[in-house]
């Protein structure tokens, strides 16, 4: 085992894995974490704890992940290269693993100008591929990046990365995931999928490159709350494409949120049939209370006991 995390075991035993997402509080109110954990516990195998996503300052992903463990769930700590250089990130990896965090997702991070600290100096000492490689080196070679120096202890991390099949240039997207695989990633979570045709095309490229045999691909799914949200995302979020047919379906529904959940469940069932997809990553943004219903309707419950 690489880290012995619950998520790793779920994959190893051939189960279809389920992860979700938890945004830390915009302050130190631990109650926010508890509330979200209570919505998610038992419905997912592990939960991603975001690292100042969209560059909005929140509680650190390490501290939040440590609370998530205390509250009886397994975290997937996200780490972005935007805010920390390799010294800080390696130091944080020592601390995170010591606190019992066993999964990481290595990301570049949203650009700081999208957030609430637009005058910050961004770091980007490493990019996400290099971060993946650094964590793998620490885990497998037991040394620091680019050095012979042995680490005191074990950095048992199950290493994740992200992929966006919907950004451009499309032909490069699978190659970039292949690079992450070569750098040492164990699992990949994708951007929210609405354009199923393009996702399937991307998965074919992934299979042609043999990446699906080395890496567990988790399809990213975000339930739509309303036709308005769908239109907004389609128009304003670079790297997300939402087919018009889907927007129409949301617009015509008697109750948008109900239709959104229904679509979400159908999407889960559809991606499950695709060769090489080993799990789903459910990003119910500020709608965590729906995860129980979605996983149940999609036939994903109960979650396997792997210990």
Partner 1 sequence: MIKAEQKPIEEILEYLAPHDHILLSGCGACVTVCHAGGEKEVALLASALRMARQSAGRPLEILEVTPARQCEPEFAQELTDTIGRVQAVLSLSCGVGVQTLTRHFPVTPIYPGVNTAFLGETVEHGLWAERCQACGNCILEKTAGVCPIARCAKQLLNGPCGGSSNGKCEIKRETDCAWQLIYDRSKSLGQLHRLTEIIPAKQWGTQSRDSGPRSIAREDLKV
The residue among 114 and 232 lying less far from partner 1, judged by its C-beta, is 114
Q: Do residues 105 and 158 touch, judged by C-beta distance below 8 A?
A: no
| Minimum distance of partner 1 from residue 64's CB (angstroms) | 23
Contacts of 225 (CB under 8 A, 6+ apart): 256, 257, 260, 287
Q: What is the DSSP-derived secondary structure letter of residue 150? A: B
The residue among 1 and 88 lying less far from partner 1, judged by its C-beta, is 88
**Binding residues for partner 1, per CB under 8 A?**
82, 86, 108-109, 111, 113-114, 122, 124-130, 133-134, 145-146, 162, 164, 166-169, 171-172, 175-176, 178-179, 182-183, 191, 238-239
Q: Are strands 17-22 and 103-107 parallel, antiparallel or unpaired?
A: unpaired
| Minimum distance of partner 1 from residue 240's CB (angstroms) | 9
The residue among 36 and 133 lying less far from partner 1, judged by its C-beta, is 133
Where helices occur in 71-169 by DSSP H, the ranges are 86-98, 128-136
Rounded-to-integer distance, Cα 187 and Cα 191, Å: 13
Q: Do residues 277 and 271 touch, judged by C-beta distance below 8 A?
A: yes
The residue among 153 and 210 lying less far from partner 1, judged by its C-beta, is 210
Handedness of CA 199, 204, 205, 207 (dihedral sign): positive
The residue among 5 and 81 lying less far from partner 1, judged by its C-beta, is 81
| Minimum distance of partner 1 from residue 31's CB (angstroms) | 32
| Minimum distance of partner 1 from residue 141's CB (angstroms) | 15
| Minimum distance of partner 1 from residue 117's CB (angstroms) | 15
């Amino acid at each position: 085992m690489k880290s012995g995390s619950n998520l790793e075991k779920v994959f190893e035993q051939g189960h279809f894995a389920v992860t979700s997402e938890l945004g830390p509080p915009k302050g130190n109110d631990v109650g926010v974490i508890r509330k979200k954990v209570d919505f998610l516990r038992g419905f997912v195998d592990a939960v991603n704890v975001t690292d100042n996503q969209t560059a909005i300052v929140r509680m650190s992903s390490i501290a939040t992940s440590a609370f998530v463990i205390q509250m009886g769930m397994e975290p997937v700590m996200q780490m972005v290269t935007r805010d920390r250089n390799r010294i800080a990130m390696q130091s944080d990896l020592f601390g995170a693993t010591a606190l019992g965090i066993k999964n990481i997702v290595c990301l570049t991070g949203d650009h700081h100008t999208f957030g609430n600290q637009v005058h910050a100096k961004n770091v980007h000492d490493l990019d996400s591929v290099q971060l993946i490689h650094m964590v793998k080196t620490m885990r497998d070679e037991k040394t620091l990046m680019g050095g012979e120096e042995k680490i005191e202890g074990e950095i048992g991390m199950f290493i994740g990365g992200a992929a966006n099949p919907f950004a451009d240039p499309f032909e490069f997207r699978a190659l970039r995931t292949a690079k992450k695989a070569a750098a040492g990633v164990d699992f990949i979570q994708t951007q929210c999928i609405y354009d199923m045709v393009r996702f399937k095309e991307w998965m074919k490229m992934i299979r042609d490159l043999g990446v699906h045999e080395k890496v567990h691909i988790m399809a990213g799914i975000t339930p739509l709350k309303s036709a308005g949200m769908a239109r907004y995302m389609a128009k304003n979020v670079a790297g997300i494409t939402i087919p018009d047919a889907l927007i129409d379906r949301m617009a015509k529904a008697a109750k948008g949120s109900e239709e959104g959940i229904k679509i979400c469940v159908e999407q889960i069932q559809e991606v499950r049939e695709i060769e090489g997809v080993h799990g789903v990553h459910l990003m119910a943004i500020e709608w965590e209370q729906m995860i129980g219903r979605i996983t149940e309707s999609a036939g994903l419950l109960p979650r396997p006991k792997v210990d």
